Structure 1
Amino acid sequence: MLIRPSTPDDQPRLFEIWDTAVRATHDFLAPRDLATIAAMVRDEYLPTAKNLAVVVDHGGQAFGFLGLNGSHIDSLFVHPDRHGQGGGRALVEWAARSRAALFVDVNEQNKGGRLFYERLGFVEVGRSSRDHDGRPYPLLHLRRALRAA
């Protein structure tokens, strides 16, 4: 397993990972909201995101990615065929290397995501009743202290 910066050539595969992962873990999203979010990820987020890291297998195939903005994890998605195999954990540990803390927002209804972050030592520090775009999907704000600041 290797972690490397993403390149523009990765964008189609990253969108495929995002789409497959979201369909497997975000069954609470209304179809219309899913379509709106997918268009935003494909057309706006992936082409312009800075600090995207990609985890690839030994054959060079990307199977997960993490977007980082300072100490905040903006995105973390692993292809469902690779869930539970250490790719997500490796990406979080990669992000943690030079930070005193990490922050992430996770949909409250995403039980698997919540458990994943809890297993990595994240704790809830707040809650919003709606997502960042005002949709009725509550967010849990999580923090993981990594080392003394």
Structure 2
Amino acid sequence: MSDPLFPPADPARLAAIHAEAFAAPWDAAALAELLASPGVFAVAEADGFILIRVVADEAEILTLAVRPSSRRAGLGRRLVEAAVVRAAALGAERMFLEVAEGNAAARALYARCGFVEMGRRRGYYSHTDGRREDALTLVLNFPR
């Protein structure tokens, strides 16, 4: 049964948004495969989406993509907040994610949403120029 607040996501539409948001985007097939996985859901608006996986009492942000033309207008925060509500309804008590250390805008968004740093993955991200970048692991513990 589908949830009217979280209708099924169209992988092709999500892939188009992801392609605008990232230098190494995920294609529709990869997104469709993720969406078919147990515990995975998307929250989407016209110009952005967030993809979440819930397993037991933990949720993970797999990706958050917002079209560049729609950034800095509150969409990212709305998506994160809606994902937290949905993940909590599915039994999650906390949410994790990895973010590139150099992605100041994303780090600021997650800090505003209450996420805190809990670890680091050295050289987690690889760039097209061969550079490696650390990922910061962030967590948000849901209020009880």
Q: What residue in structure 2 maps to residue 59 of structure 1? A: none
Q: Counterparts of 2:125 and 2:69 in 1: how far apart (Å)?
A: 28
Q: Look up the SS of the partner of 1:127 in the other structure.
A: strand
Could you say which structure has the higher helix fraction?
1
Q: What residue in structure 1 maps to residue 51 of structure 2? A: 67
> Which residue, 76, 83, 95 being the options, matches 1:95?
83
Structure 1 residues 95 and 42: CA distance shift in structure 2, 3 A: same
Q: Which has the higher contact order (CA 8 A, sep 6+)?
A: 1
Given that 2:61 and 2:96 are in contact with CA atoms closer than 8 Å, whether structure 1 keeps it comes out as yes
Shift of 1:91: 1.5
Q: TM-score, normalised by structure 2?
A: 0.74
Q: Look up the SS of the partner of 2:15 in the other structure.
A: helix
Number of residue equivalences: 125
Could you say which structure has the higher strand fraction?
2
Shift of 1:44: 4.6
- 1:1-149 to 2 correspondences below 5 Å: 4-7=6-9, 10-23=10-23, 34=24, 38=25, 41-42=26-27, 44-50=29-35, 51-56=40-45, 62-70=46-54, 71-97=59-85, 98=88, 99-131=92-124, 136-148=132-144
Unpaired segments ≥5 residues, structure 2: none
Unpaired segments ≥5 residues, structure 1: 24-33, 57-61
Q: Look up the SS of the partner of 1:131 in the other structure.
A: strand
Given that 1:52 and 1:65 are in contact with CA atoms closer than 8 Å, whether structure 2 keeps it comes out as no
Q: TM-score, normalised by structure 1?
A: 0.72
Structure 1 vs Structure 2 CA RMSD: 2.5
Shift of 1:81: 1.2
Shift of 1:73: 0.6
